[in-house]
Amino acid sequence: MSTLPRSLRLVWFVTWFNVRMLLASEFFILTTFITPLIFATLGFLLFHAGGETAGQTLLYVALGSGMMGVWSTTLFGCGGAIAWQRWEGTLELLVTAPSRYDHILAGQTFGAVVLGFYGIVATLAWGALLFGMPIAATFPLVLPISIAAAVLALGSLGMLIATSFVLYRHANALGNLLEYPIWLVAGLLVPVTTLPLWVQAIGWLLAPKWGMDAIRGAAIGSSPPWLSIGMCLVLAVVYYVAARVMLRVVLDKARRDATLALR
Amino acid sequence: MTAAALSAPVHTSSGPRTAWRLFWYGGRMSYGMLFNWARPSIYIPTLIGGPTFQLFFFASLGSYASGRSPAYFAIGNAVQVSALAGVFGMTMAIANERWFGTLPALLATPANRGALFAGRFLPFIANGLFVSVYAMAVGVIFLGVRLDLATIGVVALALLTTVFSCTAIGSLQGAISLRLRDGLFGANLIMMSILLFCGVNVPVADLPGWLQVISNLLPFTHGLEAVRQAADGAGLGQVGGLIATEALIGLAYAAAGFGLFSFFERSARANATLDVR
């Protein structure tokens, strides 16, 4: 039986534990810190070639590239979360521990998302240092709320990814498949209005799209992004409920078939 | 395994027929055994699905941001995706010998090292060509890529040379990975560098001068330019120099890869670190 403060403490502890674990991985260092810088540079050069050199455009690119890193870290960090526990032999211990497993998994996925957000800081610094990008926000007081909403939505989506991808034997291959399409559909560097309507509709269901809109709205928007923040919170609840259901199905099946620890 | 066996010189050449068998069958086996992605459940999402979306992403981003035609970005990325097979494949084909525990057995044989090393190239060149041709077809069907039929042979030659040189840098990364904890980190960095430096999305001429120096030292830059010009109708006389430069760069990387592989073998024997991870 766990009370709310105990649960929050558990999620908090696992989040930071996982951030430290991922920081020891060269792959996640690359995904979180280096890849967004490469994409930011590409974005800056491409927009420069198109004659777009305004500070707001640079900020648009830096935020979008940073969010691309957040999505990659979420995708790979959460997609393989349960599979790694299986490989390391800790899954059975965690599932049978008195603490609720969904809280442990939540901490793990939030850890990946929080690490991903360091990438946004890296792209902002990169843009400011190399391309003279101004660092300013139209609604500085709304910005932390936007970031918190985006973290919540992406963390919950991460839980759903973790519980779904475990059904596929090669979660990393799914990660390789889903990086580019979500970058595109969520409008991270290209406005979704340039895409066909049916593609835009897919984006409406995705946390990266609303998270990006919330952060961009607070940084360079003309009005506070309350709708996007609200959508982040709604999606966070929907993803979390779906992930809980999925987790129960997956764990029940694994217990019934005695396959919890099988690789 | 005895110390004497480990320290004995093992490089022998047992005739061209043995070398050919080692080159041909050894290469095929290395693909099947050491390339982690050589199964449909990984191959299709990674080498078919990923490149497809990469083309659409950069065609959308590039045409929106710079105003260039989507076909420009489609061609660049269609050639670049061959690096998935070439760079990652060759890295795995060499470095996985160590991780799967087969390296000591391999190096204990008197097999011709040149044939053994060169044999690994062929399956990954074929694989890279397949991925690139597939991506090019996606570009032709969906993104407005047009190839001049009169010079399609020159496009094919330029593409083959480019895929070879990218496989060659993969072999160098594979050799480096024999000493690293995570060889795929370097492979990922090479992939990213190609995207940024080699004219895949941003013309080399638009890059700052110091970045252009790096561009000219990397594979892809000259080969991709040859593919672009040949697709527009340039003949072998016009792009032959670019193709030759690309081939030379590829040969240089392959020689560096083989040299490093041989150096690490000698060093591992001398220091008894063959199997140390």
- Summarised one tens digit per residue, pLDDT across range A213-255 is 999 999 999 999 999 999 999 999 999 999 999 999 988 888 8
pLDDT value for B7: 47
CB distance from A202 to chain B under 8 Å?
no
Q: How far apart are CA B143 and CA B9, in angstroms?
A: 55
pLDDT value for B1: 39
Q: CA A219 → CA A36, A76, A133, A140, distances in Å?
A: 19, 27, 13, 7
Q: How far apart are CA B95 and CA A133, in angstroms?
A: 41
CB within 8 Å: B66 and A47: yes
Angle between helices A55-79 and A207-220 in degrees, nearest 10: 150
Structure-block tokens of residue B126 = 């074929």
Put simply, the chain A residues between 161 and 190 with a CB less than 8 A from any chain B CB are: 168-170, 172-174, 176-177, 179-181, 183-184, 189-190
Among A160, A147, A141, A149, smallest CA distance to A232 is for: A149
A184 neighbors B56 (Cβ within 8 angstroms): yes
Element (H, E) at A21: helix A4-23
Please state, for a pLDDT cut of 90, what percent of chain A lies above it: 68
pTM, 2 dp: 0.90
Measured over all CA atoms, what is the biggest interatomic distance in chain B, rounded to whole angstroms? 66
pLDDT value for B116: 83
pLDDT value for B194: 95
> Residue-wise pLDDT tens for chain B (277 aa)?
333 344 444 555 568 888 888 888 887 888 877 777 878 888 999 999 999 999 999 999 999 999 999 999 999 999 999 999 899 988 888 888 877 888 888 888 888 888 888 888 889 999 999 999 999 999 999 999 999 999 999 999 999 999 999 999 999 999 998 887 777 889 999 999 999 999 999 999 999 898 999 999 999 999 999 999 999 999 999 999 999 999 999 999 999 999 998 998 888 788 877 665 5
Å between B67 CA and nearest CA of chain A: 6
B222 neighbors B213 (Cβ within 8 angstroms): no
- pLDDT surpassing 90 at residue A62: yes
Place of tokens 């041709």: B133
Residue A52 — φ and ψ, nearest 5°? -95, 100
Put simply, the chain B residues between 19 and 78 with a CB less than 8 A from any chain A CB are: 37, 41-42, 45-46, 49-50, 53-54, 56-57, 60-62, 64-68
Q: Long-range contacts of range A247-255, CB-CB < 8 Å, 24 or more positions apart?
A: A247/A101, A247/A102, A247/A105, A247/A159, A247/A163, A250/A82, A250/A163, A250/A166, A250/A167, A251/A95, A251/A101
pLDDT value for B276: 57
pLDDT value for B12: 53
Element (H, E) at A14: helix A4-23
Q: How far apart are CA B269 and CA B11, in angstroms?
A: 13
Put simply, the chain B residues between 86 and 145 with a CB less than 8 A from any chain A CB are: none
Q: To probe the interface with B, which of A35, A53, A189, A190 has the most B CB atoms within 10 Å?
A: A190
CB within 8 Å: B45 and A174: yes
Place of tokens 């390339």: B35
Å between B274 CA and nearest CA of chain A: 23
B91 neighbors B173 (Cβ within 8 angstroms): yes
- pLDDT surpassing 50 at residue A196: yes
- pLDDT surpassing 80 at residue A170: no
Average pLDDT along chain B: 88
Query: Which residues on chain A are in Cβ contact (under 8 Å) with B54?
Result: 180
